[in-house]
Amino acid sequence: MLHFYQRVFRQHDEDGNKRTLMVLSKELLEELLDGTLPITSKSALVSITSPIETPPKIADLSELHIFRMQFQDMTREDEEDAPTAASFEGLKEFVDSMADVSVFMVQCGAGLSRSAGVAQAICEYLDWRDNYDKTISLRDLGFFPNNLVYQLCKKELEDNNND
């Protein structure tokens, strides 16, 4: 299991502003938002659950903006409860409205596959870079980004790029 410090990525946007990307499990998100992580400025959370999972318990924090998604961690489009393009509707608008946040969190059950796929696509879309001026590669860091999730998320963000 990845430790907390392995789930926090310091990035910067094209203007050089510091950003923090966090890829979290449900359990770790609940622990962080139970007082450990103070949310004092506008922050974003993409929360992913399956149809049979209960969403994480999140305190009502005025500075935390949440976008909820629901689909299983399936890797083929023909599997029951697999993500579809419809699963990602509205995500681009949310990401665009949160592009200026300093903390962007993406959460799923284990915080390894669905969340990593979404986080990878968002990071590329926002052109967030690490200290070596390259886009973060979550696969290289021990995550297992769901490729179907990544591709659907990327398509949603790119298809609506000229809106």
Structural fold of domain 4-157? Protein-Tyrosine Phosphatase; Chain A (3.90.190)
How high is the pLDDT of residue 159? 79
pLDDT under 50: residue ranges of the chain: 162-163
Question: Cα separation of 70 and 88, whole Å?
Answer: 9
How high is the pLDDT of residue 137? 73
How high is the pLDDT of residue 45? 94
In DSSP notation, the chain reads ---GGGGEEEEE-TT--EEEEEEEEHHHHHHIIIIIS---S-EEEEEEE-TTSPPP-----TTEEEEEEE----SSTTSTT---GGGGTTHHHHHHHTTT-SEEEEEESSSSSHHHHHHHHHHHHHT-B-TTSS---TGGGT----HHHHHHHHHHHHHTTT-
How high is the pLDDT of residue 105? 93
Domains of the chain: which residue ranges?
4-157
* Partner residues linked to 104 by β-bridges: 21, 44
Pairing mode, strands 8-12 and 43-49: unpaired
How high is the pLDDT of residue 8? 75
How high is the pLDDT of residue 133? 58
- Using the structure block, give the residue that is written with the tokens 């489009």: 77
Question: Cα separation of 70 and 56, whole Å?
Answer: 12
How high is the pLDDT of residue 128? 82
Question: Cα separation of 110 and 96, whole Å?
Answer: 26
